[in-house]
Amino acid sequence: MIRSKGFLQEGRALEICDRRFMTSFELWIYENDRPLGYHSRVSLREAASGMLEGIDVLGRAMNDAIGDVVSGRFDLLARRASA
User: Domain locations in the chain?
Assistant: 4-82
The pLDDT tens digits of the residues spanning 26-47 come to 999 999 999 999 999 999 999 9
The pTM of the full predicted model, rounded to 2 decimals, is 0.85
Question: Of 64, 59, 11, which is closest to residue 39 (Cα–Cα)?
Answer: 64
CA distances to 8, 16, 57, 83 from 78, rounded to whole Å, are 19, 17, 27, 9
**CB-facing half-sphere around the CA of 33: CA atoms within 13 A:** 0
Pinpoint the alpha helices (H) of 1-83: 44-52, 57-71, 76-82
The answer, yes or no, to whether residue 81 has pLDDT greater than 50, is no
- Cα separation, 57 vs 64, in Å, equals 10
Q: Which amino acid is at 21?
A: F
